[in-house]
Amino acid sequence: MENMVNIYLFGKQYSVPASLTIMKAMEYAGYQLVRGCGCRNGFCGACATIYRIKGEQELKTCLACQTQVQDNMYIATLPFFPLIKQIYDINNIPTTQAVMMQLYPEIYACVGCNACTKACTQKLNVMQYIAYAQRGEFEKCAEESFDCVMCGVCSSRCPAGISHPQVGMLARRINGKYLQPKTQHLEDRVKEINNGDFKAFLDELMAMSDEQMQEKYNNRDIEK
């Protein structure tokens, strides 16, 4: 008999296998996950979850697909963590520090508490990439925030109301469009796609059965 633990989902107690993640434990308990469930591998950030352990005061955050259940874990999920998403035209924005003052001025109210970094489900140095954004160092901000999955947990802990994921996204867009050198091979491939050079190949793939697709994948030429 597998080791079982008691967890509380939205206040109701369930006994579930100790080996399960929070997400799988919810399904084991009979919940049908319609929202707050995406890739199941920690890449989409859809399953941001709040929990605490009985007898402990600290309220913790995590991704439900990555976090294993613990005995006496009290769990609650939210449909999303609120973020401020400003609207802008990436083709017509300044690429200096002024753009952050214009779109996300709240980053300059950062008190340096580091709660965002401590809460990050990806273990990113969130406060550091916000500091880069404040100084207009978008290349460094883009690099530091590259693995952000936009779950918004960091923002839920921020006393200044900063939308950290959106700030990082803007920095990465500016970096990709204006600061990084052009990649000619990518531009050439986009032209080939727009010209329909791969239409016949794609039609062939679409006509394949699952078995044929798997066979083609397993025997593909892999670039060195």
Q: What integer is the mean pLDDT of 69-93?
A: 89
Question: 73 and 99, same structural domain?
Answer: no
Q: What integer is the mean pLDDT of 120-128?
A: 95
Q: What is the pLDDT of residue 33?
A: 85
- At 187-220, the pLDDT tens digits run 999 999 999 999 999 999 999 999 999 999 999 8
Mean pLDDT of the chain: 92
Q: What is the pLDDT of residue 1?
A: 56
Q: How far is CA 42 from CA 65, 67, 89, in A?
A: 6, 10, 29
Question: 189 and 174, same structural domain?
Answer: no
Question: 200 and 173, same structural domain?
Answer: no
- At 37-73, the pLDDT tens digits run 888 888 888 898 999 999 998 889 899 999 999 999 9
Token match 């798997």: residue? 214
Count the domains in the chain: 3
Q: What integer is the mean pLDDT of 76-99?
A: 87
Question: 174 and 131, same structural domain?
Answer: yes
Q: How confident is the model at residue 10 (pLDDT cuts 50, 70, 90)?
A: confident
Question: 60 and 95, same structural domain?
Answer: no
Q: What is the pLDDT of residue 144?
A: 97
> Looking at the domain assignment, is residue 85 inside a domain?
no
Question: 214 and 161, same structural domain?
Answer: no
Q: b or e along 80-91 (b: 16 or more beta carbons within 10 Å of the residue's beta carbon)?
A: ebebeeeeeeee
Question: 73 and 123, same structural domain?
Answer: no
> Looking at the domain assignment, is residue 59 inside a domain?
yes
Q: What is the pLDDT of residue 91?
A: 94
> Looking at the domain assignment, is residue 224 inside a domain?
no
Question: 123 and 190, same structural domain?
Answer: no
Residue 70's CATH number: 3.10.20.740
Instruction: Please give the span between the terminal C-alpha atoms of the chain, in angstroms, as a whole number.
Output: 47
Domain region containing 139: 90-179
Query: What pTM, to 2 d.p., does this model score?
Result: 0.76
72 in the Ramachandran plot: left (φ > 0), alpha (ψ -120 to 50) or beta? left
